Amino acid sequence: MRVTMIGSGYVGLVSGACFAEFGHIVTCVDRDAGKIEALQKGKMPIYEPGLDEIVANNVRAERLFFTTQLKEAVTTADVVFIAVGTPSRRGDGHADLSYVHQAARDIAVAIEGYTVIVNKSTVPVGTGDTVERIIREMRSEAEFAIVSNPEFLREGAAINDFKRPDRIVIGTNDLRAQEVMRELYRPLYLNQSPLVVTNRRTAELIKYAANAFLATKITFINEIADLCEKVGANVQEVARGIGLDNRIGSKFLHAGPGYGGSCFPKDTLALVKTAQDADSPVRIVETVAAVNDVRKRAMGRKVIAACDGSVSGKTIAVLGLTFKPNTDDMRAAPSIDIIQALQDAGANIQAFDPEGIEQAKSVLENVIYARDAYSAISGADALVLVTEWDAFRALDLVRVKALLRSPIVVDLRNIYPPQELIRHGFRYVSVGRPEEVYHG
Ligand code: NAD
């Protein structure tokens, strides 16, 4: 099958490379000429473990191509995916659908013969109808179907998630399009990945409901963590105690600095807006978004409190900038709010991230970027662990203590056992694990 991906970002590039791996002929299109030029030279525009290898293999096998020439790629395709960004619209939190609508117009002028147009971008309910209308108005004679096929991959584990998904959601009532989608996903279908075939609006809502639910779980445990600190309980043990209940499950119950990233913040807001417009508010999600929003800066205050109430003129070492490990994505990363809160209080920041520094430079100002974790720590008045990269899980604590001006560690991901840090002579502050608990 000939597949064209419009948008070659985290989702378009990973899905395109994986579809090529399934044996389809895939062309990834992007309007960013620099991105396409880099890809044609074998250089990945994003950091995603394993992506370079799978791209190289499929380029070599002549199943994967990159171009800025959308028209030709769409004309020859059986299936055209829309995988462009849907960021928050400035000012009101609705999803900004301008890239999706532009892609629809671009597709309309180019399609030839029966084409299945698949929306993989996360879009509000009814967007498939709008895309259909745009194309129909421009090309009344065209033969096409619009399908919703939301993507659930996680950055940092994207290839595995794509190849071994918990489920594949296909939203269309068009039987011919359903057959095309089954054929497209055949290798996964044969592997018994569950297929949820439903109507388009339901598929669109499934994606938002899934993200809102996960964001709620994170926010729930974060608030329980705050309560633990007040009442002398340990959130990790609470999470284990509730997570072992199959009805709850242990995932997404790690207390931390609040969720960030390219999906949860914008998708929760977009769902809130959709629900308000439909006169059916999702008040839980409204609260989740509001609670999470203030949490990130509150983590800055937590660091300040750990530094005896002031960071003015002090140097704070920040380890981990990306919104989670194994990605270079800085979109809505908690590190941004935390660092800005510390800077507003007069702190100087020395930071290190294994993959995110280039991206961080475009969103953070006045940060000294170190070449490794120990250089970031050197001479600092406190160390703050913001993102739980593996490289930060086993720091040489004797060296860390020697490098810090004062032995203060604020671990916003609970990656160290408190006793170990205390034994090494640190003042150790984590999330939802009050000092009294391990002081006995
Ligand atoms: P991204 O910003 O990394 O990539 C989007 C790409 O589309 C960009 O390279 C941009 O240049 C390109 N583009 C925009 N308009 C175009 C056009 N008309 N023609 C050609 N190229 C165009 O975005 P992403 O993270 O891949 O997200 C894409 C969508 O998938 C979003 O709706 C997002 O919510 C959803 N999603 C993302 C993830 C994730 O982990 N990043 C997971 C699931 C779903």
pTM of the model: 0.96
Task: Identify the band that residue 90 occupies on the pLDDT scale cut at 50, 70 and 90.
Answer: confident
State the sign of the Cα–Cα–Cα–Cα dihedral 198, 211, 193, 161. positive
What is the token pair recorded at 85? 């960004």
Q: Residue 438: its pLDDT value, please?
A: 45
Judge whether 199 and 173 are in contact, CB under 8 Å. Answer: yes
Interval 361-382 mean pLDDT: 98
Of ligand 1's atoms, which has the minimum distance to the CA of residue 12? 26
Task: Identify the band that residue 44 occupies on the pLDDT scale cut at 50, 70 and 90.
Answer: very high
Interval 98-110 mean pLDDT: 98
Query: How do residues 325-343 score in pLDDT, each as one tens digit?
Result: 999 999 999 999 999 999 9
Fold classified for 2-198: Rossmann fold (3.40.50)
Residue with tokens 């609970």: 414
Other CB atoms closer than 10 Å to residue 228's CB: what's the count?
23
Q: Which of 132, 147, 160, 139 is nearest to 51 (CA)?
A: 160
- C-alpha 83, offset from chain centre: 15
What is the token pair recorded at 169? 């959601």
Q: Residue 128: its pLDDT value, please?
A: 98
84 lines ligand 1 (CB under 6 A): yes
- 87 CA to middle of ligand 1, Å? 9
Active site residues: 263
Q: Which of 100, 83, 114 is nearest to 18 (CA)?
A: 83
Out of 13, 30, 81, mutate this one to test ligand 1's pocket (max ligand atoms within 8 Å of CB): namely 30
Is residue 48 classed exposed, middle or buried when 0-12, 13-18 and 19+ CB atoms within 10 A define those classes? Answer: buried
Superfamily of the domain at 216-438: NAD(P)-binding Rossmann-like Domain (3.40.50.720)
Judge whether 354 and 391 are in contact, CB under 8 Å. Answer: yes
**Mean of all residue pLDDT scores within the chain:** 97
Residue 436 above 80 pLDDT?
A: no
Q: Residue 440: its pLDDT value, please?
A: 39
Of ligand 1's atoms, which has the minimum distance to the CA of residue 68? 20
Of ligand 1's atoms, which has the minimum distance to the CA of residue 99? 15
Interval 164-170 mean pLDDT: 97
CA-nearest residue, atom 2 of ligand 1: 85
Q: Which of 187, 154, 165, 159 is nearest to 52 (CA)?
A: 159
Of ligand 1's atoms, which has the minimum distance to the CA of residue 103? 18
Same fold, 2-198 and 216-438: yes
Residue with tokens 């590039």: 13
Q: What is the 3-state secondary structure (H, E, C) of the chain?
A: CEEEEECCCHHHHHHHHHHHHCCCEEEEECCCHHHHHHHHCCCCCCCCCCHHHHHHHHHHCCCEEEECCHHHHHHCCCEEEECCCCCECCCCCCECCHHHHHHHHHHHHHCCCCEEEEECCCCCCCHHHHHHHHHHHHCCCCCEEEEECCCCCCCCCHHHHHHCCCCEEEECCCHHHHHHHHHHCHHHHHCCCCEEEECHHHHHHHHHHHHHHHHHHHHHHHHHHHHHHHHCCCHHHHHHHHHCCCCCCCCCCCCCCCCCCCCHHHHHHHHHHHHHHCCCCCHHHHHHHHHHHHHHHHHHHHHHHHCCCCCCCCEEEEECCCCCCCCCCCCCCHHHHHHHHHHHCCCEEEEECCCCHHHHHCCCCCEEECCCHHHHHCCCCEEEECCCCHHHCCCCHHHHHHHCCCCEEEECCCCCCHHHHHHCCCEEECCCCCHHHHHC
CA distances, 28 to each of 63, 82, 83 (Å): 11, 11, 10
Other CB atoms closer than 10 Å to residue 54's CB: what's the count?
19
Report the chain's terminal Cα–Cα distance, integer Å: 64
Q: Residue 198: its pLDDT value, please?
A: 98
Query: How do residues 246-262 score in pLDDT, each as one tens digit?
Result: 999 999 999 999 999 99
Which residues 6+ apart lie within 8 Å of 242 measured at CB?
248, 253
106 lines ligand 1 (CB under 6 A): yes
Residue 22 φ then ψ, to 5°: -75, -10
DSSP bridge pairs for 170: 197
Q: Residue 167: its pLDDT value, please?
A: 97
* Segments making up each domain of the chain, as ranges: 2-198, 216-438
- C-alpha 404, offset from chain centre: 32
- 33 CA to middle of ligand 1, Å? 15
CA-nearest residue, atom 7 of ligand 1: 7
CA-nearest residue, atom 14 of ligand 1: 84
Distance CA(142)–CA(138), nearest Å, equals 9
- 121 CA to middle of ligand 1, Å? 7
Judge whether 124 and 204 are in contact, CB under 8 Å. Answer: yes
- 370 CA to middle of ligand 1, Å? 30
Out of 8, 18, 70, 84, mutate this one to test ligand 1's pocket (max ligand atoms within 8 Å of CB): namely 84
Query: How do residues 55-71 score in pLDDT, each as one tens digit?
Result: 999 999 999 999 999 99
